[in-house]
Amino acid sequence: MKKGFSGSLLAGCAGAALCAVFLAGPAFAADKTIKIGNVEPLSGPSASVGIQGKQAREMAVEEINAAGGIKSQGGAKLELVYADSKSDPTVGVTETERLINTEKVNLVTGCWNSAVTYPATQVAERYGIPFVVPVAVRDTITERGFKYVFRVAAKDSWWVRDQFRFLKDMQDETGVKLTKIAFLFENGDWGTGFAEKWREMAKKDGYEIVLDEPYPSTATDLTPVVTKLKSARPDIVMLVSNAADAILLTNTMAEMQLKPKVVLASGGGHADPKFLENTDQNALGIFDEVEWNTDVNKAGAKAANEKFKKKYGYDLTGESVDAYAAMYVIADALERAASTDPQKVRDALAATNLTAGPAMIVSYDGVQFDETGQNKNAGIVIIQVAEINGKPERVTVWPKSARRAGYTPAFPANK
């Protein structure tokens, strides 16, 4: 056996020295700025939404700072600090800790992936730093009795509830009765969570579940799954997919000439701008559930979208709007707290009653958090992909009050 210890002593001292060098971490004097840490998936499978979230935040913070910053704190400007979660919960946890302990942020937002948000928010709770979740639907994020976690978007049980309300409303409106339902979902955290609730709601509403299939998001070939779907002959197909598999699934269904009466997706991959780019005509008729759509009937929505599109090259989506609104929620709370003390900021957040201002381009009417930190008013809209002026476009169809004027939804989309 080799004499390992000798070499290790040398290396051990070298290692200690290495650590000491990096001890002298960055020490910059902070001006009158309030730091907001953001854990987002800037690389990895959800990179495109992560980057959109980053851009939306930047747009909001620019506007807030240009309008004078946080006036109750001497015009303090907001500063955004980012950390890449890579959609990996472990990295998310480590990065949240780093943002809190090293970067000394005053608030944290993030993380888009529920699987990352779930443990990362526990870190913030542990350290008593307010954590605002713009988008991340897993119910349990706000159901643990935490005091420092606030969520702007709706939770997934509400998403599911609204999906089934939509189905019922449309069947009432058109007089068409649909009975057989199929569930197809990515086998990660998000998909499995939705599927659980789907089963409950389907049972309640009296549907017959003809297929209940998880599939691996990275599958090389979805033809077997589509074949299975075809032989199950469902009326309604409910989907939860990430970007790449949403594209693969839609194209494979077109290839296999499978045209169910109703296809209802749950946002995420289907809402990604790349989806329509890569599926084009194959996506016509699909219904999707999102927090927001470009044609939503709210003041300032169109202008904000134009501004975003001009700056970054694509439309706002539900996720980016939530991130945008979250910044205004934070600014509003900081304004009322008149301090950066975490406890005071936390209390100000809990008392939020935001019903006016640039944040109100969201599809619902105000942000108010209940005792669990959940935004009571959070809602969703259902869109349908339809051909408008020769191009596939997403058109808001539900709730009826939000429906784009002059558009009659094709329900069922196929016979």
Partner 1 sequence: MTAVIQAALNGIMMGAMYGLTALGLTLIFGVMKVVNFAHGSLLMVGMFSAYWLIRLTGIHPYLALCIVPPILFVFGYYLQDVVIKPVFKAERQVREPLTVIIVTTGVWYVLDNLALMLFGAEYRTVRTAISNKSFALGEFIISVPKFSGFVAAMLTAAGLALFMRKTKTGMALRATSLDREAANLMGIDQYRVYNIAFGLGTAIAGIAGCVLIPFYYVYPSVGVVFDIRAFIIVVLGGLGSIPGALLGGLVIGLIESVFSQFMASTWTEAIIYAIFLVILFVKPSGFFGHKQDW
Partner 2 sequence: MSRKQLDHTLLALAALVAFGLPLVVTSPTYLQILILLFFYAYLTTAWNLVGGFAGVLPLGHAVFVGIGAYTSSILTLQYGVSPWIGMLVGGLIAALVGVVIGLPTFRMRGAYFCLCTIAFAEGIRVMIENIDALGPLRINGPRGLLIPLKDASFWHYQFMSKEPYYYIILTLLILVLALTWFISRSKIGYYLAAGGEEPEAAAALGINVANCKLLSMALSCFLTALAGTFYAQLMLYFYPKGLMGLDLSFEIAFIALIGGRGAIAGPVIGALVLRPLNEFTRIYLSDMLPGLHLVIFGLILILVMLYKPQGLTAPLAALYDRLARKITVPGDAR
User: Do 129 and 342 form a contact (C-beta atoms < 8 A)?
Assistant: yes
Contacts of 149 (CB under 8 A, 6+ apart): 121, 124, 125, 130, 131, 133, 141, 142, 373
What x-and-dash track marks residues 265-294 binding partner 1 by CB under 8 A?
Answer: ---------x---x-x-x------------
Q: How is the beta sheet containing 149-151 ordered, strand by strand?
A: 77-84, 33-40, 107-110, 131-133, 149-151
The DSSP output letter for 269 is: G
Residues between 14 and 43 that touch partner 2 (CB under 8 A):
14-16, 18-20, 22-23, 25, 42-43
Q: Element (H or E) spanning 127, and its range?
A: helix 114-127
User: Do 245 and 217 form a contact (C-beta atoms < 8 A)?
Assistant: yes
Q: Toward partner 1, which CB reaches closer, 254 or 410? A: 254
Q: Which residues pair with 354 in a beta bridge?
A: 367
What x-and-dash track marks residues 238-267 binding partner 1 by CB under 8 A?
Answer: -----xx--xx--x--xxxx----------
> Under DSSP, is residue 149 helix (H, G, I), strand (E, B) or coil?
strand
What x-and-dash track marks residues 178-197 binding partner 1 by CB under 8 A?
Answer: ---------x----------
Q: Toward partner 2, which CB reaches closer, 101 or 408? A: 101
The 3-state DSSP composition of the chain as helix, strand, coil percent (nearest 5) reads 45, 20, 35
Residues between 158 and 187 that touch partner 2 (CB under 8 A):
187
User: Do 144 and 119 form a contact (C-beta atoms < 8 A)?
Assistant: no
Q: How far is the CB of 45 from partner 1 (least distance, A)?
A: 7
The region of 9-17, 173-181, 219-227, 257-265 touching partner 2 under the rule CB under 8 A is 9-17
* Binding partner at 247 among partner 1, partner 2, none, C-beta below 5 to 8 Å by kind: partner 1
The DSSP output letter for 404 is: P
Q: How far is the CB of 255 from partner 1 (least distance, A)?
A: 5
Strands (E), 229-302: 236-240, 262-265, 287-290
Q: Toward partner 1, which CB reaches closer, 265 or 402? A: 265
* Binding partner at 48 among partner 1, partner 2, none, C-beta below 5 to 8 Å by kind: partner 1
Q: Is 8 in the site for partner 2 (CB under 8 A)?
A: yes
The region of 1-9, 62-70, 225-233, 395-403 touching partner 2 under the rule CB under 8 A is 1-9
What is the token pair recorded at 299?
A: 């003041």
The whole-angstrom separation of Cα 196 and Cα 199 is: 6
Q: What's the one-letter identity of residue 262?
A: V
Q: Toward partner 2, which CB reaches closer, 9 or 351? A: 9
The region of 74-82, 146-154, 227-235, 341-349 touching partner 1 under the rule CB under 8 A is 227-235
What x-and-dash track marks residues 297-336 binding partner 2 by CB under 8 A?
Answer: ----------------------------------------
Q: Which of these, 282, 284, 302, lies nearest to 394 by C-alpha position?
A: 284
User: Do 185 and 239 form a contact (C-beta atoms < 8 A)?
Assistant: yes
Q: Is 220 in the site for partner 2 (CB under 8 A)?
A: no
Q: Toward partner 2, which CB reaches closer, 114 or 375? A: 114
What x-and-dash track marks residues 109-128 binding partner 2 by CB under 8 A?
Answer: ------x--xx--x--xx--
Q: Toward partner 2, which CB reaches closer, 115 or 202? A: 115
User: Do 59 and 310 form a contact (C-beta atoms < 8 A)?
Assistant: no
Q: Is 2 in the site for partner 2 (CB under 8 A)?
A: yes
Size of the site for partner 2 (CB under 8 A): 48
The DSSP line for 328-349 is: HHHHHHHHHH-S--HHHHHHHH
Residue recorded with tokens 């007089």: 175
User: Do 396 and 383 form a contact (C-beta atoms < 8 A)?
Assistant: yes
Q: How far is the CB of 40 from partner 2 (least distance, A)?
A: 11
Residues that bind partner 1 (CB under 8 A): 43-45, 47-48, 187, 213-216, 218-221, 223-225, 227-228, 230-231, 243-244, 247-248, 251, 254-257, 274, 278, 280, 282
